[in-house]
Amino acid sequence: MRASWFLVAGGLIVAAPLLAQSATSVAIPGEATAQGDVAVTIYQNGQSLVQDTRKVTLPGGRHKQDFPDVSAQIRAETVTLTGPGIGIVEQNFDYDLLTPAKLMEKAVGQTITLVRTNPATGAENRVRAKVLAANGGVVLQIGDTIEVLRDDGLPVRVIFDKVPPNLRARPTLSVTLESKGGTVPATLTYLTPGLGWTTDYVTLFDDAKQTIDVQGWVTLTNNTGTDYTNADVLLVAGNPNNGGGRRNWQTPWNGSTETIDEAGTESNERERLGDYYLYPLGERTTISNAQQKQVSFLDVKAAPARSTYEFNNGWLATNDAASASSVLKFSTSRAGGLGDQLPAGTMRVYMRDKRGDPQFIGESGIEATPMGSAMSIRTGEAFDVKVKTVVAERTRVNNRRWKTRMVYELTNARNNPITVDLGQNGLWGDVKITEQSLEGKRVSADRVEWSVPVPANGKATLTATFDSRY
């Protein structure tokens, strides 16, 4: 199976006809990146580690060294700079970036030049003005008069004498150093939010062969305000703690999932870092700001799978005719499965129609899944498979025990026989099954499951009697 995704990054273009810069008096850094050999480690919790090794030429003694093209969201307290003969005295992160609005804001109290063009003749008229305020609008003093600079599309532009020293064209880290001088490799390391990755799985199910083709995609996103050029990218599957000893209330508990029927116990040669799995990209790549980039990391053909139906009933729950869930079951084991760990993400399932075209049939989020796990992906509700549940009898046996008889009626409007995995939940503690028309299996502490065959265009009935304290 070949899957292609086309992602369009929308951009907001702001027209600022009133603000312009002088081509002769302003020095703006070029487009080339100042980064060196960049390695980026991206975690799934929104944090990333950037390691940028640059060749820098340093004078001897104490001086200030600028490092442009760092993340605009850099966590300044995490910055380290290492290199032979380098000692850090002070560091400052300049994140006040050069924009037309910022340029005007910094010009308050200074004199600028207004250039007005006559729409009829094209003649230009230049006048000097002092900027009094730039709060929601620009207030100017021109001679003895106070005027408001209107933004009404008239041909007016502003010329600034210089760029303020505290405005940067690119996010810049300024470091005061003590050094021996010379050209040395300096490695700048820092943590930053704004870089992230998610996992998507494109799964094509062949109903006739009972197999699946699975392609795994990593989607990289960059909202740091800077590009990372020709970077060595390493993805970490896992969620390192962001600080503090308490557990983040937003982090889900490590309980059972709806997609992992049985957690696997297999391992392979994939590199690990502590309890995290590492996914290095096969080659260097450029992660541009405000960009999404997709990279394939898993491609498995014809892994065994089967489609089935599933219905879960709550304790004492009744309904007239509820749809069973359509479920795709498969394994991530080395033998007879996908043969890999699956980072948390979204799995989308497709099937081919009679014309041979793949059609989307449903999706499900999956948690981080060990290799060797048995999985169930619920793709949607079955149109033709219904289950009716009835509390047929409920009597008190004594002051401590109840007897409950449940009847489950299954209907199949399809022209082929099916099997429904019917689960009864809520069987906690010492609940016992005293009678059942079909042998069931306890699959968890509170759940018993029956595999109920239902004939084509037919019905089936299951009965079970429970002995419980409630």
Task: Supply 161's token pair.
Answer: 């004498």
Contacts of 252 by beta carbon, 8 Å cutoff, 6+ apart: none
Contacts of 55 by beta carbon, 8 Å cutoff, 6+ apart: 36, 183, 184, 185, 186
The closest alpha carbon to 3, from 198, 199, 197, 203, belongs to 203
Residues of the chain with pLDDT under 70: 1-31, 93-99, 151-155, 165-169, 241-257
Residue 167 has a pLDDT of 61
Residue 1 has a pLDDT of 35
Decide the pairing of beta strands 172-179 and 61-68.
antiparallel
Could you give the CA distance from residue 314 to residue 432 in angstroms, rounded to a whole number?
A: 16
Could you give the CA distance from residue 430 to residue 131 in angstroms, rounded to a whole number?
A: 81
Contacts of 40 by beta carbon, 8 Å cutoff, 6+ apart: 48, 49, 50, 51, 195, 228, 231, 232, 233, 234, 287
Instruction: Give the count of alpha carbons within 13 A of 215, CB side only.
Output: 13
Question: How many residues are given for the chain?
Answer: 470
Task: Supply 442's token pair.
Answer: 């306890």
Contacts of 284 by beta carbon, 8 Å cutoff, 6+ apart: 230, 231, 232, 233
Residue 176 has a pLDDT of 84
383-398 burial, b if ≥16 CB within 10 A, otherwise e?
eebbbbbeeeeeeeee
Residue 394 has a pLDDT of 95
Model pLDDT for residues 427-468, shown as the tens digit of each residue: 988 899 999 999 999 988 889 999 999 999 999 999 999 999
Other C-beta atoms within 10 Å of 459: how many?
Answer: 12
Decide the pairing of beta strands 145-149 and 138-142.
antiparallel
Residue 214 has a pLDDT of 97
Other C-beta atoms within 10 Å of 443: how many?
Answer: 13
| Separate counts of helices (H) and strands (E) for the chain | 1, 30
Place of tokens 């619920």: 378
Residue 148 has a pLDDT of 85
Could you give the CA distance from residue 342 to residue 183 in angstroms, rounded to a whole number?
A: 45
- Whether 211 and 14 have beta carbons less than 8 Å apart is answered as no
Specify the amino acid at residue 331.
S
Per-residue CA distances from 121 to 15, 115, 117, 159 (Å): 24, 14, 8, 21
DSSP 282-304: SS-EEE-TTEEEEEEEEEEEEEE
DSSP 328-358: EEEE-SSSSS--S-B-SEEEEEEEE-TTS-E
Could you give the CA distance from residue 378 to residue 49 in angstroms, rounded to a whole number?
A: 36
Could you give the CA distance from residue 52 to residue 254 in angstroms, rounded to a whole number?
A: 35
Residue 29 has a pLDDT of 39
The closest alpha carbon to 172, from 94, 57, 73, belongs to 94
Write the DSSP symbol of residue 224: S
Residue 291 has a pLDDT of 87
Task: Supply 157's token pair.
Answer: 């532009």
